[in-house]
Chain A
Amino acid sequence: MEEPDGKALRDDALAGGERGKRAFERLWRAWWPRLCWFASTWRGLPAAEREDAVADALVRAYGSLGAYDPSRPLAPWLYRIAARRFSDAARAASRHSTLALDPAGDEASWDPPSGEDHARELETRDLADRCRAAMARLPGADRRIAWLRFRDGLDASAIGRALGLPAGTVRWRLHLIRKTVGTAVGVDDEA
């Protein structure tokens, strides 16, 4: 997946016109899938409202790019905007909606491995599959932390900025996440 450069994105958005449109398309392509998954960690946010919330978060982020400091990484800034939007939407849904909430975790849907040398690949896939299932059973807040750490490679400080948590809390939660998932999949968490 193409990772848009924060500075270029900001410059293009501020330029407006066709450049601005292309910048939003880049933002959408790169971030829509990530934010959709991220939104799914708010269990109070019904699936029917998730895509609207993601689109809304991207529109807000795009409209606020003028306030983004390009010397800092884009991901924590954008996740922060999305986290606020999803929290608001989940709160509103819990007050007003009578829709059934989406059950946690979808079934794995990737293709089986092909070729002869796939024993190792199968093992890797199996472990990743079990990790995925174990992650789906984590509380929403821990799934968010795990996602930002293992999908986006953010460190504890950046995760803290994105989710409004102290870095020390994030480190402690990561320790517990490794321990929980490691136990579930039979991998000891040894540093």
Chain B
Amino acid sequence: MKRETLDAALREACARESGTIPAPPIPGRVLERAMAAALAGRRAGQGASRLKAALPGALAAASVLAAVLALAVTPPSYRAGEPLATALVAGLPENPAAAFALFLESAARP
């Protein structure tokens, strides 16, 4: 006999196996635990959603902070009035990340 016969017999064996155990009624305490677990899961999900929603704002704030810190440690040759510092200060409110990138790029130059 072929594999198909064997597979069909194995499927039949498994189907009969599972058919011999009927599901009992759900015990009250199990239902209560399930509802409590679902509620906890929903709350955790909402928390994660809120965190996800707040993430772009937090990243923008971190960029501003990084740019301000970068300005604070700007070498004397880049003080206000010089082209780089002017560009940084001008770009900061508009696009802090780009301003910071500009600073890094310029600082890396010899």
Contacts and interface: CB of A to CB of B under 8 A. Distances in A.
B44 interface: yes
A130 B36 CA distance: 44
Contacts, number: 129
Interface stretch (B21-29, B77-85, B87-95, B98-106): B21-29
Given A16-B39, A59-B33, A24 B14 contact: no
Query: A13, A29, A66: which has the most chain B beta carbons within 10 Å?
Result: A66
Contact of A127 (B9, B23, B24, B35): B9
| A contact patch SS | helix
Contacts of B44: 66
A188 B38 CA distance: 48
A62 B40 CA distance: 11
Interface of A: 1, 13-14, 16, 20-21, 24-25, 28-30, 32-34, 36-37, 55, 58-60, 62-67, 106, 108-110, 124-125, 127-132, 135, 146-147, 149-151, 178, 181-182, 185, 187-191
Pairs A-B, 9 closest by C-beta atoms:
A63-B37, A151-B14, A128-B12, A32-B23, A132-B13, A131-B13, A150-B10, A33-B21, A66-B45
